[in-house]
Amino acid sequence: MNIREVAQLAKVSTATVSRTINGSSKVTPETAERVRRAIEQLRFYPNTNARALGSGKSSLYGLIISDITNPFFPELVKSFEDIAVQHGQEVLVANTNYDPARMEICVSRMLQRKVDGVAIMTSEMDEKFIDEFNSRGIPLVFLDTGKPQKLISNIVIDYAAGVNAAVEHLIGFGHTSVGFISGPMSLASARIRRKAFVSSLKQKGVRLDPSMIEEGNHRVDGGHDAMARLLSKRIRPTAVLASNDMTAIGALGAIHERGLRVPEDISLAGFDDIEISSFTQPSLTTVKLSRNDVAKVAFRSLYDINVNAGKGGEYRIQPLLVVRRSTGPAPVKPGKR
Amino acid sequence: MNIREVAQLAKVSTATVSRTINGSSKVTPETAERVRRAIEQLRFYPNTNARALGSGKSSLYGLIISDITNPFFPELVKSFEDIAVQHGQEVLVANTNYDPARMEICVSRMLQRKVDGVAIMTSEMDEKFIDEFNSRGIPLVFLDTGKPQKLISNIVIDYAAGVNAAVEHLIGFGHTSVGFISGPMSLASARIRRKAFVSSLKQKGVRLDPSMIEEGNHRVDGGHDAMARLLSKRIRPTAVLASNDMTAIGALGAIHERGLRVPEDISLAGFDDIEISSFTQPSLTTVKLSRNDVAKVAFRSLYDINVNAGKGGEYRIQPLLVVRRSTGPAPVKPGKR
DNA sequence: CTGTTAGCGCTTTCAT
DNA sequence: ATGAAAGCGCTAACAG
């Protein structure tokens, strides 16, 4: 089943069928109608591979993420796909699983499929790969870790502002001993958030005890373990900020296991605002990072370069503090063991 | 950049390059090495579209899911991809968002990309689409809703056994008033789970009060609202089984909002065992449905039909009760208002 | 073991 | 507005 059979049935040339499929304006409505009927009758579906090959355009955009298991990403994927589809483009999602070797495979897949652009939302990306895309004229957009160039855009999240808002909120409640559970230090995005926390505290003139910072892995189990470590210190923090919500959720469990209450004994805040965060017990105060905004900006930046011969740029996104029930006044007596 | 340039540089024919790429055994190791060097030097990536077109094989398997936002699915996607990659195949994931119109788009995408098989994990699938695949010789595998045929396999989850185990567990704790929060009745899979609950109760000789069943939407908010309704009844259940974990998590929030304790005042169990369920407060007793098993069986069933000219079949998967902290002895005085 | 060449299904000039 | 035909990049006979 191919375009020729359709052409025969509709009594036109293959060129006309092709034009009809692509909505060319120079096909008589009557002919177009005839072709459409033939297509329907034969249940014909144009071969995407042949189309891409013939036209030299894949209409495919790559989206590379690091962990599809972190709820942050599915929400991002969904938004990205919605926008792409609205523009008549398809999406190729690839998951690196935080593994550099898999990143190479992902890049390779993108290149082989001749994508028209790639959104790299992983924060870890070898320079050599970037070149691979650049030299082929494939636009790229990064999250936090790119330097804008002709074909490269960068989305910068104002972590400082987000973290600041959270810290301010905590300090406003009288907390003076604020802890932090970071993501894995191997991740640039985790390092950025941590740095933002440290300088925010300094800016507010609050003393930072280095032992109040523990490293997690941006997943639930890591948050749980990190909080457990924090709680077994001689002096424990009365408030803790987590590098992302998954971490905070794990931390919440650890606090409860210890028989402590949130926020009476200890306040807890997260980062991201994934859907589930409003349903934890208590609901989680967190810094919202809109996946929809990120996805929208990411796709637009790529699409614009291709369609309007635009150039790479820098796009800023402001996170927003969402206050819920997991934060409250500092306990009168700081928690000593 | 194409195979011809590589051929020239390596001083061989394009056929030899192609053979080398495809790992054909009839290429002298030396020639192969020369070709590989040329490929590397030119940073050549074979065009997937052309390969698919030339060979007539896409090496692509479709995976249709209903809601990438439900953690159950990303875990399934991940497993499915891992297995596919192990077999040198790629995966095209499509998300219907529970929307029949989008289902049509998904099917169309699959057909246009000439996938070698499709795993339909959505439980809702119009008969006419099935035909579309069948008539093109594309194998299909369903979750719970297919009838095995030449090219069609079906994975049947033994919900009855899973629900039974949960109900037994609850009854063993002395609960006599057991409620149920179902998924949306528009979903076959939700109806199956509900039916399993009803007959399990009947089988155990426990009286079922129809008002003890509320409908959710398989998401957190639906579970929350359904539980709120359950709790405002004149007589409330002392134990509740939810149709999936997301629902249970929402229910948990509603219970706490009401000032009740889990499991002291009310026991709660879920279904699926998504990762986060072991970190809720309290951790959730649930019926584990292994995504990895489902993915493995799904892919294998498709791959086997293609590679070994196998036939469609029926595959059973046993869920397993995972007891955690959200279930316990029934309160001595049933909760009246 | 290697090369030649005819497709694969569609798009896109270039004529008409 | 429509058609004829030359690719697009690769694979797979078929020869040798």
pLDDT digits 0-9 by tens, B28-55: 999 999 999 999 999 999 999 999 999 9
Q: Is the CB of A31 under 7 A from strand D?
A: yes
pLDDT for B161-210, tens place per residue?
999 999 999 999 999 999 999 999 988 889 999 999 999 999 999 888 99
Q: Tell me how close the Cα of A130 comes to any Cα of chain B, in angstroms.
A: 13
Same domain (yes/no): A152, A299 = yes
Chain A residue with CA closest to B248: the answer is A279
CA–C1' span, B136 to C1, in Å? 37
Residues 52-111 of B with CB under 7 A from strand C: 53-54, 56
Same domain (yes/no): B262, B229 = yes
Q: Tell me how close the Cα of A199 comes to any Cα of chain B, in angstroms.
A: 31
CA–C1' span, B125 to D8, in Å? 36
**Contact criterion met (CB < 8 Å) for A112 and B71:** no
Q: Is the CB of B12 under 7 A from strand D?
A: no
Whether A53 is in a domain gets the answer no
Q: What is the pLDDT of residue B333?
A: 66
Write down the pTM of the prediction: 0.90
Q: What CATH number corresponds to the domain at position B174? A: 3.40.50.2300
Confidence band (pLDDT; 50, 70, 90) for A333?
A: low
Q: In what order do the strands lie in the sheet with A267-272?
A: A213-215, A178-182, A239-242, A267-272, A285-288, A320-322
The residue among A103, A255, A279, A326 with the most chain B CBs within 10 A of its CB, best to mutate, is: A279
Q: Does residue A240 register a pLDDT over 80?
A: yes
pLDDT for A221-238, tens place per residue?
999 999 999 999 999 999
Q: Does residue B305 register a pLDDT over 90?
A: yes
Cβ atoms < 10 Å from Cβ of A316: 11
Chain A residue with CA closest to B256: the answer is A281
Q: Does residue B296 register a pLDDT over 90?
A: yes
CA quadruple B231, B237, B242, B243: dihedral, nearest 10: -110
Share of chain B above pLDDT 90, in %: 85
Chain B residue with CA closest to A280: the answer is B253
**Contact criterion met (CB < 8 Å) for B71 and A68:** no
Q: What is the pLDDT of residue B69?
A: 87
CA quadruple A39, A43, A48, A54: dihedral, nearest 10: -30
* A158 three-class SS: coil
Same domain (yes/no): B171, B151 = no
Same domain (yes/no): A42, A191 = no
Q: Is the CB of A27 under 7 A from strand D?
A: yes
Same domain (yes/no): A185, A265 = yes
Whether B51 is in a domain gets the answer no
* Measured CA distances, B223 to A279, B71, B73, B233, B266 (Å): 10, 15, 18, 16, 15
Q: Answer yes or no: are the C-beta atoms of B119 and B155 closer than 8 Å.
A: no
Whether A174 is in a domain gets the answer yes
* A319 three-class SS: coil
Among B105, B135, B253, whose Cβ lies nearest the Cβ of A279? B253
Instruction: Name the residue range of residue A9's domain.
Output: 3-46
- How many domains does chain A divide into? 3
Q: What is the 3-state secondary structure (H, E, C) of B60-129?
A: EEEEEECCCCCCHHHHHHHHHHHHHHHCCCEEEEEECCCCHHHHHHHHHHHHHCCCCCEEECCCCCCHHH
The whole-number average pLDDT for the span B5-25 is 94
Whether A332 is in a domain gets the answer no
Whether B114 is in a domain gets the answer yes
Integer Cα distance of B190 and B133 in angstroms = 26
Q: Tell me how close the Cα of B198 comes to any Cα of chain A, in angstroms.
A: 28
Among A74, A114, A135, whose Cβ lies nearest the Cβ of B49? A114
pLDDT for B71-102, tens place per residue?
999 999 999 999 999 999 999 999 998 888 88
Same domain (yes/no): A238, A271 = yes
- The per-residue pLDDT of chain A, averaged, comes to 93
- The per-residue pLDDT of chain B, averaged, comes to 93
Confidence band (pLDDT; 50, 70, 90) for A92?
A: very high
Q: Which nucleotides in chain D lie less than 7 Å from some protein C-beta?
A: 1-5, 7-13
Whether A326 is in a domain gets the answer no
Taking C1' of D13 and every protein CA, the nearest residue is B15
Q: In sequence order, what are the residues at sequence separation of 6 or more whose Cβ sits closer than 8 angstroms to the Cβ of residue A56?
A: none
Chain B residue with CA closest to A85: the answer is B105
**Contact criterion met (CB < 8 Å) for B90 and A109:** yes
The residue among B58, B281, B324, B325 with the most chain A CBs within 10 A of its CB, best to mutate, is: B281
Q: Does residue A173 register a pLDDT over 70?
A: yes
Same domain (yes/no): B165, B307 = no
Residue B43: list chain A partners with CB under 8 A. 132, 135
Same domain (yes/no): B69, B187 = no
Whether B55 is in a domain gets the answer no
Q: Is the CB of B31 under 7 A from strand C?
A: yes
Say which nucleotide is closest to residue A5, CA to C1' distance: C9
Same domain (yes/no): A117, A103 = yes
Share of chain A above pLDDT 90, in %: 84
Residues 35-74 of B with CB under 7 A from strand D: 44, 46-47, 50-51, 53-57
CA–C1' span, B285 to C9, in Å? 54
Q: What is the pLDDT of residue B135?
A: 93
User: Hey, CA dihedral for A256, A260, A264, A268, is it positive or negative?
Assistant: negative
Same domain (yes/no): B264, B302 = no
Nearest by Cα to B289 from B191, B177, B173, B155:
B155
**Contact criterion met (CB < 8 Å) for A275 and B93:** no
Half-sphere exposure of B266 (CA within 13 A, CB side): 31
Same domain (yes/no): B168, B282 = yes
Q: Does residue B334 register a pLDDT over 60?
A: no
CA–C1' span, B38 to D15, in Å? 27
The whole-number average pLDDT for the span A152-177 is 95
Q: What is the pLDDT of residue A336?
A: 47
Q: What is the pLDDT of residue A146?
A: 80
CA–C1' span, B18 to C4, in Å? 14
Q: Which residues pair with A176 in a beta bridge?
A: none
Residue B111: list chain A partners with CB under 8 A. 45
Residue B112: list chain A partners with CB under 8 A. 45-48
Q: What CATH number corresponds to the domain at position A26? A: 1.10.260.40
One-letter amino acid of B316: R
Whether B307 is in a domain gets the answer yes
One-letter amino acid of A313: G
Confidence band (pLDDT; 50, 70, 90) for B281?
A: confident
Same domain (yes/no): B152, B179 = no
Residue A281: list chain B partners with CB under 8 A. 252-253, 256, 280-281
Strand-strand pairing, B118-120 and B314-317: unpaired
The residue among B41, B49, B76 with the most chain A CBs within 10 A of its CB, best to mutate, is: B49
Nearest by Cα to B117 from B135, B106, B133:
B133
Among B58, B95, B108, whose Cβ lies nearest the Cβ of A45? B108
The residue among B279, B280, B291 with the most chain A CBs within 10 A of its CB, best to mutate, is: B279
Q: What is the pLDDT of residue A208?
A: 87
